[in-house]
Amino acid sequence: MYTVSQRVRNRGAQVLCKRLSSSVKITGFKLNKEDLPTNATIFSMIQPTGKFHLGNYLGAVRVWKDISDLQDDSTRSLFGTADLHAITIPKPNVKDFKTYRTEAIASILSIGIDPEKSTVFHQSSVRQHTELHWMLSTFAPMGYLNRMTQWKSKANINDNSDEAALGAIKLGLFSYPVLQAADVLLYRSTHVPVGDDQSQHLELTRQLGNTFNKFYKTDYFPTPTTILSPTKKILSLLNPSKKMSKSDPNQNSVIYITDEPDVIAKKIKRAVTDSISSSFYYDPEGRPGVSNLINIVSGVQRKSTEQVENDIKHIDNHKDFKDYVTEVLVEELAAPRKKFYDYMRNPEYLNQVSEAGADKARAIAEKNITDIKRIMGFL
């Protein structure tokens, strides 16, 4: 789930932790202890669409593991499935939806999140998310929401759409950025690691928190910092003009963290490149397919694209280049793949983790929603 210009992102990837402003930060390829301030509350969620693909892994959730590994007793982290957000596009197959929720929890744990250190739960298990959503919606300007790009993308809306298409937009899809703001502010979060496609929503979150504080003359909600991964968006293997997506009808365009080595090899072999075989270098405009594969290696190895270019400068044919990419991916995903299937064979444990996490999250949420109600005059 849960944009900055390409030029800025490239520059940010060269440093450990580049602060773009007081509210947006690009991490280095791996967090260090000093990147997590004391008394921080770190929150993030991902929609439960099943097993994680490479874009989910490199663009969003791997930093969750870094945070979980580094946090001390003064730091609190909450990670989970944004299952209420998932139904902004209705899910008629209830059985599949239940499976996707379970697979999402298994995926979170398989990448190395320790549920003893981080709270892992389903959003829908904590009713205070929707309660705060309503309260914040009374502060959310329609004009601001109308400028959000994500709901338009999901609804296939553009500047040429007619009134009938606009009139068919469901309220939940239109207002889900407010629910996302409620998700973050409910826990008085100080840092939110997300993919860059969610940065616009975090700006709204900050605006709503600041508006609430100003209106009630309080400083209750902190201003949360957006944490962006330096890994650039992972693109479709077969069409590098669009991002990698689970909904792609051709699944050869998507690498999952659960893919077997032979499946990874087959998909990379079919990946779009170009006719230049004498050298392989990063050029998103001129060589989008090759650049996508280099970006993948860059993200996996936690290296800059320039470092990857140097590592592969001896390669002079497509087969060896793709074999190299395959080898990197197979090694990286071996452990998450095994852990995922181990967890899926133990659904009772996954249920215990999500229920225990929901209990912890509810305790925090209930205290905070009570404070918010008192500030607003409900209590």
Residues serving a catalytic function are: 154, 243, 246
Cα separation of the two ends of the chain: 33
Say how far apart CA 183 and CA 333 lie, in whole Å: 30
Burial class of 169 by CB neighbour count within 10 A (0 to 12, 13 to 18, 19+): middle
Measuring CA to CA, which residue among 175, 173, 174, 180 is closest to residue 209?
180
235 class by beta-carbon count within 10 Å (0-12 exposed, 13-18 middle, 19+ buried): buried
Q: Quick one: which of 130, 96, 113 has its CA closest to 44? A: 113
Distance of CA 372 to the CA centre of its chain: 27
Q: Label each residue of 253-294 as H, E or C.
A: HCCECCCCHHHHHHHHHHCCCCCCCCCCCCCCCCCHHHHHHH
Q: At 4, which amino acid appears?
A: V
Q: Around 239, how many Cα atoms within 13 Å sit in the side-chain half-sphere? A: 9
What's the CA gap between 269 and 272, in Å, rounded? 9
Using alpha carbons, select from 103, 41, 111, 52 the residue that is nearest to residue 74: 41
Residues shown for the chain: 379
- Closest Cα partner for 193 from 221, 228, 234, 233? 228
Distance CA 251, CA 328 (A): 20
